[in-house]
Structure 1
Amino acid sequence: MSASSALAAFAALCRICFAKSNNSSIIERRLAIPEFNSFPCSVSWTETTVYSPHPTLGLSPSGKTTRGNPMSVSARTFFYIQQVEQLIRRRLDECLLAIDITAGQYMVLNLIAHHEPISSADLARKTMMTAQSMGEFIRALEAKKLVERQSTQLNKRTMLISSTAAGRKVLIRCESKIDEAERDFFSCLSGEDLASLRILMSRVRSAQLGKLAKEIDSTTPSI
């Protein structure tokens, strides 16, 4: 599948996901009418005469009006991705509610389980969070007894974080719930579409992380 076909599939996923929301009729109207579109768009306009049988649109009794008409609408890819990310986060929070863990806490617990023992600073770097935000996640997981901190033998001031037995059991439950939610969320795509989407997102992610690493290296003073 070409990159353009995969991006078209991604756009279709966005529209299908929006249609499933409680405000589907409002969202559909916003997608159809540029002036109410929630996405920043690049739009070109021409002056045209419009005839409509719908008086609710504020037209004259004859149904005739002159207004700007969009020739082309190009929704920003940034905001398609942002909206899908928000929908995914909402779905994760919903499916994890019964386990009493948030999407953010699950992400951090998952990282700890796969990289333990690990320091809070390393976790913050992996997630591109601030040290303060990561500290809040770790304290929340500690309060639930899902992770624990221990000092290292070489440096008593460095605390390494590991998952507890209870934390690993919770993580298994989370993975089962998320597997089910992920299958449902992407059920509008074929297996080929989903594989192409993953490849494209991975390519973008790797490229941007590479750029970020170069920027950090260029601003780090040499010793």
Structure 2
Amino acid sequence: MIDDPSTRTSYLAWQFAQAVALRLERTLRPLDLSLAQHNALVQVALSPGISSAAVARRAGMTAQSMGTAVNGLLDRGLLERRPHPTNRRVMQLHPTESGLALVQVSQVAIEESNANLFETLSDEDEAVLAGLLRRLVQHTNPDALDLSRSHPD
């Protein structure tokens, strides 16, 4: 007997994550940003000097996938690489003025999309959901929530 997948929390979470990703990709497309690029740009703006590897950990992505996103941002002049002051093997990422300006624009677009995504929930329901998701992310990818770990150990 095959169980209905919609009875599994993980299936529902996956379906919702797919819907969110699609909606955010559509929101960012007019800004010529992928979701991975947006995530990288935001993380670098939050933690100037962060390494590409740390950005990948926060995003829960492979270093190679994040490298592709970061390279696109570098090519567009939205990020720049600088050598780490004490570790020759690490390059630090810094936002450019254009990168910071694009983050501001993208944040407005993301907020509008976010409001539409959760319009079916009350403020209280959304707060409960956010708390539950934060706990689950903390459990599965604590780097995603740890803004203090921006540099290699």
TM above 0.5, yes or no, is yes
Q: Deviations over 1:61-108 (max 9, x none)?
A: xxxxxxxxxxxxx61111111111111111111111111111111111
Structure 1 unpaired stretches of 5+: 1-34, 43-73, 211-223
Structure 2 unpaired stretches of 5+: 143-153
Instruction: State the SS of the aligned residue for 2:119.
Output: coil
CA RMSD of aligned residues (A): 1.8
For the pair shown, the structure with the greater C-alpha radius of gyration is: 1
> Is 1:107 the counterpart of 2:39 in the alignment?
yes
- Of 93-102 and 159-168, more deviation after overlay is shown by 93-102
Aligned to 1:186: 118
Q: Given that residues 39 and 59 in structure 2 are in contact (C-alpha distance below 8 angstroms), is that contact kept between their aligned partners in structure 1?
A: no
Q: Which has the higher strand share?
A: 1
Shift of 1:116: 1.2
Instruction: State the SS of the aligned residue for 2:94.
Output: strand
Aligned to 1:204: 136
Q: Deviations over 1:173-218 (max 9, x none)?
A: 00001111111111000001101111111122223347xxxxxxxx
Q: Deviations over 1:17-38 (max 9, x none)?
A: xxxxxxxxxxxxxxxxxx9xxx
Ranked by relative contact order (alpha carbons within 8 Å, sequence separation 6 or more), the top structure is 2
Aligned to 1:41: 4
Q: Which runs of 4+ in 1 moved over 6 A?
A: none
Instruction: State the SS of the aligned residue for 2:27.
Output: helix
Q: What TM-score, normalized to structure 1?
A: 0.59
Q: Out of 68, 72, 80, which is 1:140 matched to? A: 72
> Is 1:161 the counterpart of 2:124 in the alignment?
no
The size of the alignment, in residue pairs, is 141
Distance 2:110 2:98 in 1: 18
Matches within 5 A, 1:1-223: 41=4, 75-209=7-141
Distance 1:77 1:149 in 2: 41
Distance 1:83 1:134 in 2: 23
Q: Deviations over 1:120-143 (max 9, x none)?
A: 222222223222112111101111
Q: Which has the higher helix share?
A: 2
Q: What TM-score, normalized to structure 2?
A: 0.84
The AA in structure 2 aligned to 1:109 is: L
Q: What is the aligned-residue identity percentage? A: 32
Distance 1:140 1:79, change over 3 A: same
Instruction: State the SS of the aligned residue for 1:176.
Output: helix
